[in-house]
C-alpha cells in the first residue's frame, strides 16, 4: 500500500515519519499525476491559504477533487480538515479554493491565534478499534479550526467543550447545543464521512501512531469494499 502525503507546505514530513513508524510507504505528492500512484492521501496541517495557493500553482485541485469524489481514502489534519470542508468561515476564510467533500462548516482559527494553541486529552471511543485499546489521545491544537455543524452522513469521532457564548458569537443561529446548564456547548474536533477522515488537531506531532493505524484500517476496509464491488461487477 502507498499512502500519499500532500507535500506543499506544513507538517508533511511528520506524517511521512509516522507512516514509516507503522511500516507503510509514504509518498510525497506535489503534482497531479502523483495521485495516480497512491491508494490514499493525507493532507497535513499548515496554513490553508498558503497551501491552497501552492495547490493552484501546481494545478492540483481538479485531481484532488477527483480523488475525493472517487471515494479514495483521504485524511485531513488541521489545515487539511479546512481543505476538505464544504464550508469554511472565520478568520481569513473566503477567497480561496478548497477541495470540499466533507459535509460540514469549519471555523478557521476557532480556538484563537498561535498564543492560544494548546494540548489536551481528547476522548475518542473509536480509537479502541486499533491496538492499544485506550479511548483517549493527546490533542495538539495549533491555531486550530473547529467544526461547528456537520451533516447527517458525518460520524462524530470526538468533540470538545466550549462555552455556548463563544459558539453563538460565531454562529448565532446554532440550535440544539445547550446542555443542562445552558452555558456549555460542543464543537467537533474529529469526524468521518465515508472515505474522508478529518481531525482538527495534529496526531503526527505526537509519538502516538494510533490515528495513522486507524486511517490505514479505514483504507484497507475501503479498498476491500472497492475490490468486492469491482469483482461483483465483473461477475455480471
Ligand atoms: N489556522 C490554520 C489555517 O487556517 C491551520 C492551522 C494548522 O494546520 N495547524 O490554515
Confidence of residue 168 (pLDDT cuts 50, 70, 90): confident
Question: Which sign, positive or negative, has the C-alpha torsion 229, 231, 232, 234?
Answer: positive
What's the pLDDT at 97?
A: 81
**Ligand 1 touching residue 48 (CB < 6 A):** yes
Domain ranges of the chain: 2-234
Residue-wise pLDDT for 93-110, tens only, equals: 666 789 999 999 999 999
How many angstroms separate the CA atoms of 149 and 164, rounded? 14
Mutate to test the pocket of ligand 1, among 6, 76, 78 (most ligand atoms within 8 A of CB): 78
Q: Closest Cα to residue 28, out of 97, 78, 15, 80?
A: 15
Q: Which tens digit of pLDDT belongs to each residue from 11-30?
A: 999 999 999 999 999 999 99
Distance 114 CA to ligand 1 centre (A): 10
Which residues contribute to the annotated binding site for L-glutamine?
Answer: 46-48, 108, 142-143
Assess whether 204 carries a catalytic annotation.
yes
Residue range 2-234 forms a domain whose CATH class is alpha beta
Active site annotation includes 202 = yes
3-class DSSP assignment, residue 220: helix
Q: What ipTM, to 2 d.p.?
A: 0.95
- Name which of 16-25, 110-119, 165-174 the model is least confident about: 165-174
Give ∠ CA 59-64-67 in degrees, rounded to 5. 145
Pairing of strands 155-163, 196-199: unpaired
Ligand 1 within 6 A of 34 CB?
no
Q: What is the pLDDT of residues 176-194, one digit of tens each?
A: 676 666 788 999 999 999 9
Mean pLDDT, all residues of the chain? 91
Amino acid at each position: 500500500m502507498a499512502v500519499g502525503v500532500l507535500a506543499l507546505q506544513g507538517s508533511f514530513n511528520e506524517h511521512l515519519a509516522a507512516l514509516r513508524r507503522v511500516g507503510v510507504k509514504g509518498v510525497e505528492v506535489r503534482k497531479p499525476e502523483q495521485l495516480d500512484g497512491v491508494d490514499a492521501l493525507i493532507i497535513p496541517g499548515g496554513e490553508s491559504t498558503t497551501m491552497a495557493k501552492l495547490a493552484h500553482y501546481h494545478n492540483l485541485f481538479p485531481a484532488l477533487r477527483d480523488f475525493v469524489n472517487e471515494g479514495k481514502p483521504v485524511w485531513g489534519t488541521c489545515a487539511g480538515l479546512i481543505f476538505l470542508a464544504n464550508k469554511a468561515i472565520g478568520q481569513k476564510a473566503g477567497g480561496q479554493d478548497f477541495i470540499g467533500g466533507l459535509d460540514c462548516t469549519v471555523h478557521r482559527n476557532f480556538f484563537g491565534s498561535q498564543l492560544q494553541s494548546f494540548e489536551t486529552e481528547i476522548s475518542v471511543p473509536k480509537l479502541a478499534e486499533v491496538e492499544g485499546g485506550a479511548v483517549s489521545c493527546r490533542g495538539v491544537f495549533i491555531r486550530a479550526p473547529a467544526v461547528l455543524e456537520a451533516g447527517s452522513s458525518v460520524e462524530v469521532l470526538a468533540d470538545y467543550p466550549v462555552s455556548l457564548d463563544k459558539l453563538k458569537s460565531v454562529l448565532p443561529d446554532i440550535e440544539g447545543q445547550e446542555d443542562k446548564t445552558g452555558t456549555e456547548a460542543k464543537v467537533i474536533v474529529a469526524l468521518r464521512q465515508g472515505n474522508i477522515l478529518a481531525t482538527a488537531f495534529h496526531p503526527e506531532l505526537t509519538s502516538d501512531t494510533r490515528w495513522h493505524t486507524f486511517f490505514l484500517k479505514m483504507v484497507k476496509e475501503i479498498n476491500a469494499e472497492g475490490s468486492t464491488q469491482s469483482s461483483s461487477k465483473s461477475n455480471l
